[in-house]
Structure 1
Amino acid sequence: MDLADLIDRNAAFTPGKAAIRFEAQTLTYAGFAARIAAAARALKSQLGVGRGDRVAILAANHPDYLVLLYACARLGAMLVPLNWRLAVAEQMFILSDAAVKVLVVEDAFAAVVAPLAQSRPDIRVVGIDCRPAGTSLDDLLGRGSGDGRNPHVDLTCPLLIVYTSGTTGRPKGAVLRQEALVWNAAMSQHASGLAASDHVLTVLPLFHVGGLNIQTTPALQAGATVTLHARFTPDATLAAFDAPQSPTLVTLVPSTIQALVEHPRWRQTDLSRLRALTTGSTIVPQPLIDAVMARGVPVLQVYGSTETCPVAIYTRLGGDLGRGNSTGLPGLYCEARVVDDDGREVQRGTAGEVIVRGPNVFHEYWGNAAATAEALREGWYHTGDIATRDADGYFHIHDRKKNVIISGGENIYPAEIERVLGDHPAVAEAAVIGRPDPRWQEVPVAYVVLRAGASADAAALARHVGDHLARFKLPRDFVFVDSLPRTALGKVQHFRLRELLG
């Protein structure tokens, strides 16, 4: 059995039911299952995709994103979602690091095709809504033949490689098995009571496990209906709530919630069919929770990461939602603890690192044994996040042990920006921290030491960073200093910079 069989089973039970709504189109479960089968046949017979091969996708939210996910599951292949907000250089690194065999790309992001043709001509390129290399996905599907299956494929096969930037300054590919999505879905369904009768609205990007796996794949595996928006806009989201076929469940990050509650139509929008709003990805400001609950909509919190698929700790619909900013209890099918630096579980109320173990946890970092060994110890994933547990076991996340900045739901790792700044000929060294921001929660700020006799202004450094990294990673300010605070061993003391910024 593979993950795509769950779609086939739903198609057998309710063939005419809407599986995915997108723009003016509706894909029934029968149609969804048929397109998955056609995609699997085409990938195998036309492009030679075998068990373990990597297929990347660079696109906004689209039904074929999900078609390719389940087609890869059928073949025992792996889908590599590419963040369209990244710079082309970053996307090229991932395509090379994952040794991708096929890239499926949307026309809006086809800027990667030309450099790819020069550096990796072996990668086959297929267009979702275009023919960047003479092949469109629809053309490919029409030419597929055979059974669309590979031998020795089951739920233990790796399915996703989701890249997350690391503290080393280079992104790491977290490998998630098919079974991780099964157990993740079971916990999602437990958290919100998600059932076949539900209608899930997905506006978060599918290149994140939050957009893909908090409710989207759980809904499809339960036989529910998913409405996809290509990208989040407050107007379209509020209009969806007001529509005759309005959603019953939605997942949003704090920045998107804020965009909704600040919208002029927020108070007039009909939220009567919305059973719950799920949020997470960072510490959620209480005023945002209060604004949603004031409209009669319960707010659920999910804590997790790319490495946990991401559902690991959550509050549950019908459960205790009145514990301030608690992210809830360990999920139904995984374990979570708070431990000290020696890995020993600490007493309730004592701060420590969150560790997670369960079938939803990632298998490895792709091609990076050292990073895998550091993060996975005796089956426990060490998150790097600091939390306490109250007397009843509820988790309260306080800080991030890893120096990650979360801006608008996106993870920004200072080491990555520091690496790029360090490549500028005028920069001797740099350190990046997060600054609180009323809209994005945090934004990066760079402290820069220039080389003796060299000169560069903020605009020049911004252009340099922008040539190599995504726009959301650009520091909002550059602070020029004579030196950076360091420990006796030479490590930069980022907390000293935060104190200075404060």
Structure 2
Amino acid sequence: MDLSHLIARNAAFSPDKPAIHFEGATLSYAAFNTRIEATAKALKSECGVGRGDRVAILSLNRPDYLVLLYACARLGALLVPLNWRLAVAEQLFIISDASVKVLVLEQAFAAVLPPLAAELPDTRVVALDFAPPAPGQSLDALLACGSGDGRNPHTDLTCPLLIVYTSGTTGRPKGAVLRQEALLWNGVMSQHMHGLTSDDHVLTVLPFFHVGGLNIQTTPALHHGGTVTIHARFTPDATLAAIAEARPTLTVWVPAIIQAMTDHPAWAAADVTCLKAVSTGSQIVPPHLIARLTARGIPVLQVYGSTETCPISIYTRLGGDLTRTGSTGLPGLCCEAAIVDDAGTELPPGSAGEIAIRGPNVFFEYWGNEAATSEALHDGWYRTGDIGTRDADGYFWVHDRKKNMIISGGENIYPAEIERVLLEHPDVMEVGVVGHPDPKWQEVPVAYVLLRPGCGITAELLKAHVLGQLARFKVPRDIVFVTDLPRTALGKVQHFKLKQATDASK
């Protein structure tokens, strides 16, 4: 059995049921399964994709993204999702690092083709929506030539399926390898978290190159026979229209999306009664954003995890205890979580330490990087690099990234704590806090602040605001007003880039 078996079984049980809606078209489970089989046959017979080979995709969200995932599962191959927001040089590094055999490409990102031909001429190009230069060919043309059974020997749930490259904080990105069984168990935990059934309808607006967009709800819904509406990329207007017309029951919104949705002029009047829950995570979620959803009667579920955990590992559950403000919940149904010190010893409730995760959802290795794998995995436990605490009942709170921690005069300062206070000021829209070298204190906090339009508060007034709620040593030494902040594709502030800018200015 491999992961594509779940789609085949759903096709047998409910062949005519909609699996995927996309841009006005619907793919039934039977049609979805048929295209997976045809794609696997073509990749094997025409491209020579064998067990363990890598197939990359550079595209916005579309049904064939998911088709490729399950076709790779059927073949025992690995899918490498490429972040379309990266520079071409960064994409080429990943293609080279993973020794990609086939690149499946959307025309919007064809700028990668000339340097790919020059630097990696052996990578086969398959085009999704255009006629590529020879010797590449379109996906439809490839499918027309496919033959055979579209399977490779010795393929099962233990086979690696995904290599998802993490942005990292320094140096080159690392490719986290997730086995097929990681997605299976991740789906079981999603079902537990969301009360997910075949009656659910998921609206996916996060990018598939991120495990949050791919695996928090999308693949779990397909495994359980539900329906998924896919958006190529997020826009508030399209999301509001989908809620009004498609009436989804579940969706995942990171904080930046919650902000955009609830700031939209049409939000207050929108009928959101179809949503049984909105899940959120990817960073510490400001309480005022959660309040905007709960004020509309929408339960908000928090999920904690990372690329390396597929990502579901700690979560609050629909129908569970949602009253513990700021808590990201309990360890998932199929994994363990602990708070440990630097030696890996589990700490008692209330003590701050590093969050560690162990379970079948955890990644297998960093692709071709034994040193990084050894540093991250200890006796099956993944050291996340995040600082957190748990209470006596086992509920977890995430405080900050370990690498973001500022040590000032022997005191540990977690930037997220300062960010939370600054975000409570009505003039502040977004903020990122990092440490700046200081000859006396070793480091002092510096805040980069993006103000709301029309606001003009001074740095001194913002410092006074922080001083009213936090210890003096936590007050930012400097507040730098900016017009934008460096961020990931999910809108998360990239602290390491702020840190680089701060260090460069010293």
TM (norm. structure 1) is 0.83
Deviations 1:85-130 (A, max 9, x none): 0000100000000000000010001110110000000000011101
**Residue 142 of structure 2 is aligned with which of 123, 140, 143?**
140
Output aligned runs, 1:188-207, within 5 Å.
188-207=190-209
CA distance in 2 between counterparts of 1:388 and 1:132 reads: 52
TM-superposed CA distance for 1:475, in Å, is 5.9
Equivalent AA in structure 2 for residue 71 of structure 1: A
- Answer whether contact 1:36 1:68 (CA < 8 A) is retained: yes
Q: What is the alpha-carbon distance in structure 2 between the residues aligned to residue 434 and residue 80 of structure 1?
A: 36
Distance in 2, matches of 1:56 and 1:353, equals: 33
SS in 1 for 2:137: coil
Residue in 2 that maps onto 1:376: 377
For 1:332-371, what aligned pairs fall within 5 Å after superposition?
332-371=333-372
What secondary structure does 1:21 align onto?
strand
Tell me by how many angstroms 1:246 deviates. Answer: 0.9
Q: Once the 2 structures are TM-superposed, how far is the Cα of residue 131 of structure 1 from its aligned partner?
A: 1.9
Q: How many angstroms does 1:384 deviate by?
A: 0.5
Partner of 1:116: 116
Give the conservation status (yes or no) of the 8 Å contact 1:195–1:219: yes
| Structure 1 unpaired stretches of 5+ | 415-430, 440-461, 485-502
- Give 2:166's match in structure 1, choosing from 122, 146, 164: 164
The residue that corresponds to 1:327 in the other structure is: 328
Match of 1:236, as an amino acid?
A
> In the aligned structure 1, how far is the partner of 2:493 from the partner of 2:283?
16
CA contact (8 A) 1:158 1:176 kept: yes
CA contact (8 A) 2:281 2:303 kept: yes
2:503 & 2:362 partners in 1: Cα distance?
A: 42
Alignment partner, residue 6 of structure 1: 6
Name the counterpart of 1:28: 28
CA distance in 1, matches of 2:276, 2:492: 35
Equivalent residue for 2:283?
A: 282
Find the aligned partners of 1:320 and 1:225 in 2 and give their Cα distance.
27
Q: Secondary structure at the match of 2:346?
A: coil
Query: What is the identity, as a one-letter code, of the residue corresponding to 1:56?
Result: A
Partner residue, 1:267: 268
Question: Aligned pair 1:307/2:308, yes or no?
Answer: yes
Where does 1:102-501 land on structure 2 (aligned, <5 Å)? 102-133=102-133, 134-243=136-245, 245-403=246-404, 435=448, 437=450, 484=506
Distance 2:284 2:169 in 1: 20
Q: Residue type matched to 2:306 in 1?
A: S
Preserved CA contact (<8 Å) 1:175 1:362: yes
> Relative to structure 1, is the Cα distance of residues 437 and 352 closer, same or farther in structure 2, using a 3 angstrom cutoff?
farther
CA separation in 1, counterparts of 2:397 and 2:492? 31
In 1, are the aligned partners of 2:282 and 2:492 still within 8 Å (CA)? no
Task: Find the residue that maps to 2:322 and give its secondary structure.
Answer: coil
Q: Aligned-pair distance for 1:399?
A: 0.9
2:86 is matched with 86
Deviations 1:447-478 (A, max 9, x none): xxxxxxxxxxxxxxx9xx9xxxx999796899
Q: What is the CA distance between 1:342 and its match in structure 2?
A: 1.4
Q: Identity rate of aligned residues, in percent?
A: 67
Could you report, residue by residue, the CA deviation over 1:207-235 in whole angstroms, capped at 9, with x for unpaired residues? 00000000000000000000000000000
Counterpart contact for 1:18–1:26, Cα < 8 Å: yes
Shift of the 235–35 alpha-carbon distance from structure 1 to 2, 3 Å rule, reads same
Letter in 2 for 1:220: L
Aligned residue number for residue 15 of structure 1: 15
Alpha-carbon distance, 1:481 to partner: 7.7
| Secondary structure of residue in 2 paired with 1:207 | coil
TM-fit CA distance, 1:167: 3.6
Give, in whole Å, the separation in 2 of the partners of 1:188 and 1:370: 31
SS in 2 for 1:260: helix
Change over 3 Å in CA distance of 1:389–1:480 after alignment to 2: closer
For 1:336, give the aligned amino acid: A
User: Counterpart of 2:471?
Assistant: none
* Deviation string, structure 1 residues 62-83 (Cα, Å, up to 9, x no partner): 0000000000000000000000
3-state DSSP of counterpart to 1:250: strand
The letter of the residue matching 1:150 is N
Ranges in structure 2 where 5+ consecutive residues have no aligned partner: 406-414, 420-431, 435-443, 453-483
SS state at 1:267 partner: coil
Counterparts of 1:297 and 1:478 in 2: how far apart (Å)? 39
Distance 2:450 2:141 in 1: 46
Q: Is the 8 A contact 1:85 1:471 kept in 2?
A: no
Partner Cα distance (1:236, 1:383) in 2:
35
Matched to 1:179, the amino acid is E
Compared CA separation, residues 106 and 315, structure 1 to 2 (3 A): same
For residue 435 of structure 1, report the CA deviation from its aligned partner.
3.4
Task: Output one character per residue of 1:146-182: Cα deviation in whole Å (capped at 9) or x when no partner.
Answer: 0000000000000000000234411000000000000
- Quote the residue 1:95 is aligned against: 95
CA distance in 2 between partners of 1:259 and 1:26 (Å): 28
| Residues 365-402 of structure 1 deviation map (CA, whole Å, 9 limit, x = unaligned) | 00000000000000000001000111211000111102
User: Closer, same or farther in 2 for the Cα pair 1:139/1:433, shift >3 Å?
Assistant: farther
**Using the alignment, how far apart are the partners of 1:52 and 1:120 within structure 2?**
19
Asked if 2 retains the 8 angstrom alpha-carbon contact of 1:167 and 1:403, the reply is: no
2:272 aligned partner, one-letter code:
L
Separation in 1, partners of 2:81, 2:183: 15
8 A Cα contact 2:283 2:492, kept in partner: no
32 and 326 in structure 1: CA distance in 2 versus 1, 3 angstrom threshold: same
Q: Measure the CA separation in 2 of the matches of 1:396 and 1:220.
A: 30
Matches of 2:39 and 2:447, distance apart in 1: 43
Structure 1 counterpart of 2:183, which letter?
L
- Written as runs of structure 1 = structure 2, the 5 A alignment for 1:54-65 is 54-65=54-65
The residue matched to 2:162 in structure 1 has which SS?
A: strand
2:42 alignment partner in structure 1: 42
Name the CA distance, whole Å, in 2 between partners of 1:113 and 1:188. 38
| Structure 2 counterpart of 1:238, one-letter code | L
With structure 2 as the length reference, what TM-score do the two structures score? 0.82
CA distance in 2, matches of 1:471, 1:399: 13
Q: Deviations over 1:403-428 (max 9, x none)?
A: 49999xxxx9x9xxxxxxxxxxxxxx
Whole-Å separation in 1 of the counterparts to 2:62 and 2:502: 44
Structure 2: distance between partners of 1:482 and 1:193: 49
